[in-house]
Structure 1
Amino acid sequence: MNQIMPNNSKVSGHRSTLFSITLKPFLALVLILMISLGVKAENLVAVSTEDVKPLPGDVAVAKIWTYQQNLVAVDSRDNIWSFDQTTDKWDKKEIPFRGIVKGTAISADSTYLLMADPSTGWINRVESFGSSEQPQGYSMPMLPEPLKFAAASILDEKLFIVGTSAQGASKMLALDLSSDNAEWQNYPVWSGDGGVVTSVIAQTDRLQVTLKHEASTEEQMWQWLPKDGWQQRSILQGNVIEGTARSMGQGHALYLVTSADGSSVKVMSFQTITGAWAELERWDNHGTLSGTGWKKGILWVASANDQNGTQLGLAQVQSRQNLLSLTDWVILVVYLIAMLGMGLYFYLQQGQSSESNFFLGGRSIPFWAAGISIYASNASSISYIAVPAKAFATNWQYLMSNMILVLGLIFVAVWIVPLLRRLNLISVFHYLETRFHPSIRVISSILFIVFQLGGRMTVILYLPSLALSTVTGLDITMCILVMGFVTICYTVLGGMKAVIWTDVLQLFVMFGGTIFAIVFILMKLDGGTTEFISSALADDKFKMVDFSFNLTDATIWGFLFLVFFDTVLTFPKDQVLMQRVFSTSSAKEAGRSMWTFSAIVIPGSAMFYLIGTALYVFYQANPGRMDPSLSLDATFPLFISAELPVGVTGLIIAGIFAAAMSTLSSILNSVATVSTVDFYEKWFKTSDEKTNLRFAEIVTVVAGLIGIALALLLASYNVNSLLDVALELWGLLGGGFAGAYTLGMFTKRANWQGVIVGVTASFIVTFMAWTVDLVHPYFYMPLSVFVCIVVGYAASWFFPAPERLDGLTIYADQAGSKVQAADQ
């Protein structure tokens, strides 16, 4: 206890100085906000209309569709035409088109035609469209029965046809396009008295179907999800024009609709998540007949003024980027300067006099600051953007994982963290060498570095930059470079102290911006808090628990399984988090840091889910304020840029930067630590502390530049699939080594030979699960850990038991001198 007191007094002494330098910029931000509050009220989305060159002469369009983004038309004389966008001309093809097309189903690279029997006019088969040169593709299996009316779309590699049979019964048929021998399958239809299907579109994970009853001037919108079945969503005032329904973005559908009296044509958007309609544009109806989705909107076919031929037009959605004001820029720049100032402050205060200072803040970080830093590092900008988007699109089920996580953290705080802190480690992977074998330490360290640079850091830089550039006009390259270089600078200058204390400030920026946004939304709603709660409850947006036994869904059993294997048994696997634990002054303080972390998890996470639900209610009441072309992940950034007062926008964008930079700085410092302690010092045993520090600083810069370069690569080539591959590879390769911690801490019998066998088995089993899609990628890590533990422990019985385990398991109280000597 006496040894801890001087450290505490030193920390409190510099802490007051620290806050004196950081509060001034913050108070300046508040002053700027008070001066500059002004609500933006511009129209968010515009629709541009233009004429498209009609078919030559007086030839009328009988049917029109797109094939691989190109327009294809069949005229009234069965000639087929393709539109050349470079020359703005229609080209007539030599081969005539045979058959009557009653509908189309269009994907990015394929087009399927609903073909009718010439004698009855009823749809009896489907043909793939080959190309404008060879229009007749291959025929699909004949429909089980002909349909009088139908529309079609493609969802999850299945062709769905929804329509009315010759007997007047509603039908839904599906054909698996991924199978060569597939047959048509019947699916249940909606309840009620039928109706004529006027459109079917696929959006993300669902089908949207519009139904019209005879002589009605309105239509019903029905939704079908494979798991939940049919649900009626809303009523459309007017009638959908044939062929004009299309999906847009990740959560919208676009329609061309005639008004109830037929006098006008409207461009309508339907938000598939909130179930709200918005009118985007309207013009007089001059005989609009049909159309198809094209470019960023809808192409329509209308009667020509001279009654011969047809005329064509295109309505496109035009997104408007909400450029930052001067005030927003000032706030953002002040924030970035404050981050650099904190790094410079710690550098000037004491420099980097030792490895302990650079890597661990001199082991003098207060427990509460370490706990806040753990949360900030674990949250990242992905949580700031993706969690509200998830809550907007679904509900609060994923919050249950955080609630269960707190229970796991209690165990970690009592048993695991004190055990590892007593060992006085710098690199947590050193534990694997001491408990098992140097090779296990080396491989796990390499995997950690590769994943942090190639996967995690790249994603954290790229995704928020992409979202911000989409809605604010900020250049994505500039976002990546600014976040990356500022983070590199203050991390190199201030080391772990700069990382942790900037995390503390950044957490308040993140939370402050989120709370303001929530309050602002409640004030904007006509019914205030009452409307928010009633709307969210009506649509089951607060649902948190799913008791079904299905590992492909976010169930409570899946979260229990995940937390048990990913947190309770393997918490030490992440050097980024453990380094904050090691920066405290004692095992007792380390445990308290985890208690602080666990105390923030639920309220902190709940805020991000709350903002997602608040966005749902806001956009349900104001559907015209959404941009149909944006992804769901852009929902919160869109609200920030389009709805919040000038100045507040800058502060919350600073919060997104803060969320990214807190995690980036943590990754950079941890990669430098592992590279120096686990590799450089082992290879160059005679190097002095000054040389080691210089190497760590160089690694910090190089690691940052690698992360920036990879993020810029993603931005240039838009290879989003690499992100998924990186995350899946971490589950495939990293889970086994995470299980090694479990075998080391919780068993006395496990040895290095058994661990090698367990890691190998975990890789094989997880790889097989990956190849056959056995479980959701979310569960690759716990599956890998489970296999490693079971196989590794069983295999250990075939080899000699370890001879010395002092302080290396939860069953021993005192740390072994072997570990202490190595890292001190």
Structure 2
Amino acid sequence: MAQTLIYLHWADYALFAAVLTVSIGIGIYHACAGSKQRTTAEYLVGNRKMSVLPVSFSYVVTYMSSIFMLGLPAEMYVYGLTYMFNFFSILFANTLTVVIAVPLFHPLKLTSSYEYLEKRFDSLAVRKMGALFGILLTTLYMGVVLYGPAVALDTVAGFPLWASVFLVGIASIIYTSIGGIKAVIWTDVFQCMIIVIGLTAILVKSIMEVGGFGNFWKHNAGSGRFDINWSFDPTVRTTFWNCLFAGCVGWFGVAFNQASVQRIAAMPTKRHATKMVLLSIPGFLFLAIAASLEGFAAFAYYKSKDCDPFAAGYISNSNEILPYFVMELFQTLPGLAGLFLASLFSASLSTLSSGLNGISANTLMDFVSPFYPKISEFKRTVLAKIFVFISGFISIAISFLVMIIGGPVTQICTSLLGSLGGPVSGLFLIGAFFPWANSKVCEQIFILAGFASDVITIAQVYI
């Protein structure tokens, strides 16, 4: 099997362009509908009257980013089934959200999650520091989300990296800025449908190519892909125990993330918010399992051909396995590779739009409103839209910086979540469960967080 670079057909580009056009169209519709996004309540939290089902879809795809859609198949292809025990953490995170976040945040009618920190610790400084950490994390993460699928498709399909970054970034900025949270949520619903259709098409076609589910199972089971590592050794990369517990820690902060709090705030009642989170659980599990099965499908496909493109050096990064596999799988079916392209970048768009809307809310509510409380509602909404543009272009710039840094995107994201997301989640938990904690405790947490970030950076350089 020789290495080939398979270029996209015009039909693939047309389908990809259609997804971007529809997404922008949804933003334009919501910019013109209702009160035309003239109040911050409508722009940032949908007047707190959003419906359960669409917000639940949005909640799912906000966290199922393109990194997740590329990383899970790569994980299953290279390391096997054990990593799937990470999925128990999804149940843990959503349970935590229902039990702690919903009753904590919804009655307060918040727009920014960090408003809680000021109310709880009676300190504007703590609120601003928490918001600063959150904005920094989201902005950096969005840059990685833009970079991940772009570099993979540039490598295996010749799709220009800069074009991927700019097209997806600009599209997300446009519909998020003009349509607000309603545009974000309804485009998320549309993009979720595209993701599901794309995943299904890949699975059906690949199982047909290997000769049915029996061969799919035989190739993976015979190569140890379904074996589970039960070791207690913490130095082993993937075991049942470290995937289970590390996954729970990794997803721990989801309950206190701005995107989660904003969707909780968009619900009319606490009961609706609880239902929204519970309905998202099967959606999370379906997408996670489907993405994992793609990795097993790719392994069975190449096993049947007695060729491993990763081991053979046809691709240099495990994140490129899925794009390489799909381009080969659909090379005689114009349009289907474009469907994969659309589903992959839909995952990027959903995460980006939620991040941009969240940063806008944080910047306005945590850094502008406390100092200019009498600013008019119209000006506040205009500022919120401007903040979407600014943060969007910063994220695009960061994606180009990530190209220079290099390294696996999963490692970059893990470092970001641990060093920036962990301390903020700790603040919310301390505030909720330790009534004697005060602002001095919070200051120490941020000092330790800064030290931990330095340690992580040094470790990555020398290890």
So what's the TM-score if we normalise by structure 2?
0.91
Q: 1:588 to 1:539 in 2, by over 3 A?
A: same
1:703-752 superposed Cα distances (whole Å, 9 cap, x missing partner): 1111112223444xx32159656753552344223211111112222222
Provide the residue aligned with 1:638 in structure 2. 324
SS in 2 for 1:683: coil
Report how far residue 616 of structure 1 moved. Answer: 0.3
1:513-547 superposed Cα distances (whole Å, 9 cap, x missing partner): 11111111111113x11111122122221245634
Provide the residue aligned with 1:459 in structure 2. 144
CA contact 2:137–2:420 (8 Å) conserved in 1: no
Does residue 399 (structure 1) correspond to residue 87 (structure 2)? The answer is no
1:491-521 superposed Cα distances (whole Å, 9 cap, x missing partner): 1121101101111111111111111111111
Report how far residue 556 of structure 1 moved. Answer: 3.6
CA contact 1:391–1:613 (8 Å) conserved in 2: yes
1:302-334 superposed Cα distances (whole Å, 9 cap, x missing partner): xxxxxxxxxxxxxxxxx5321211221221122
CA contact 1:408–1:563 (8 Å) conserved in 2: no
1:696 & 1:637 partners in 2: Cα distance?
Answer: 36
Aligned letter for 1:440? V
Structure with the higher helix share, 1 or 2: 2
Provide the residue aligned with 2:163 in structure 1. 478
Q: 1:559 to 1:752 in 2, by over 3 A?
A: farther
Mapping 1:627-706, distance limit 5 Å? 628-630=313-315, 631-644=317-330, 645-706=333-394
Report how far residue 562 of structure 1 moved. Answer: 3.4
1:404 & 1:545 partners in 2: Cα distance?
Answer: 18
2:51 & 2:239 partners in 1: Cα distance?
Answer: 37
Provide the residue aligned with 1:341 in structure 2. 25
Mapping 1:393-792, distance limit 5 Å? 393-436=78-121, 437-453=123-139, 455-526=140-211, 528-544=212-228, 546-550=230-234, 553-567=237-251, 570-623=253-306, 626=309, 628-630=313-315, 631-644=317-330, 645-715=333-403, 718-721=404-407, 728=415, 730-761=417-448, 763-764=450-451
2:80 & 2:287 partners in 1: Cα distance?
Answer: 17
Provide the residue aligned with 1:152 in structure 2. none
Provide the residue aligned with 1:360 in structure 2. 45
1:242-294 superposed Cα distances (whole Å, 9 cap, x missing partner): xxxxxxxxxxxxxxxxxxxxxxxxxxxxxxxxxxxxxxxxxxxxxxxxxxxxx
1:416 & 1:466 partners in 2: Cα distance?
Answer: 36
Provide the residue aligned with 1:385 in structure 2. 70
CA contact 2:141–2:416 (8 Å) conserved in 1: no
CA contact 2:137–2:417 (8 Å) conserved in 1: yes
1:387 & 1:563 partners in 2: Cα distance?
Answer: 13
SS in 2 for 1:342: helix
Give the structure with higher Rg (CA). 1
Q: 1:529 to 1:597 in 2, by over 3 A?
A: same
CA contact 2:97–2:255 (8 Å) conserved in 1: no
CA contact 1:487–1:665 (8 Å) conserved in 2: yes
CA contact 1:391–1:612 (8 Å) conserved in 2: yes
1:714 & 1:412 partners in 2: Cα distance?
Answer: 31
Mapping 1:140-289, distance limit 5 Å? none
1:557 & 1:525 partners in 2: Cα distance?
Answer: 33
CA contact 1:418–1:588 (8 Å) conserved in 2: no
Aligned letter for 1:403? F
1:760 & 1:561 partners in 2: Cα distance?
Answer: 26
Percent of pairs with identical residues:
24
Q: 1:657 to 1:733 in 2, by over 3 A?
A: closer
1:393-449 superposed Cα distances (whole Å, 9 cap, x missing partner): 111222211123314422431333222111111000111111112211111111211
Where does the alignment leave 5 or more consecutive residues of structure 2 unmatched? Answer: none
Q: 1:663 to 1:744 in 2, by over 3 A?
A: same
2:453 & 2:24 partners in 1: Cα distance?
Answer: 43
Aligned letter for 2:23? M
The higher relative CO (CA closer than 8 Å, separation ≥ 6) is in 2
1:523 & 1:425 partners in 2: Cα distance?
Answer: 50
Q: 1:647 to 1:594 in 2, by over 3 A?
A: same
Report how far residue 623 of structure 1 moved. Answer: 3.9
1:700 & 1:433 partners in 2: Cα distance?
Answer: 24
CA contact 2:207–2:213 (8 Å) conserved in 1: yes
SS in 2 for 1:542: coil
CA contact 2:89–2:248 (8 Å) conserved in 1: no
1:752 & 1:712 partners in 2: Cα distance?
Answer: 37
SS in 1 for 2:37: coil
Mapping 1:51-130, distance limit 5 Å? none
2:207 & 2:33 partners in 1: Cα distance?
Answer: 45
2:224 & 2:454 partners in 1: Cα distance?
Answer: 37
Structure with the higher strand share, 1 or 2: 1
1:739 & 1:408 partners in 2: Cα distance?
Answer: 14
1:366 & 1:536 partners in 2: Cα distance?
Answer: 42
Q: RMSD across aligned C-alpha pairs, in angstroms?
A: 2.4
1:143-196 superposed Cα distances (whole Å, 9 cap, x missing partner): xxxxxxxxxxxxxxxxxxxxxxxxxxxxxxxxxxxxxxxxxxxxxxxxxxxxxx
Aligned letter for 1:741? F
So what's the TM-score if we normalise by structure 1?
0.52
Where does the alignment leave 5 or more consecutive residues of structure 1 unmatched? Answer: 1-43, 46-318, 777-824
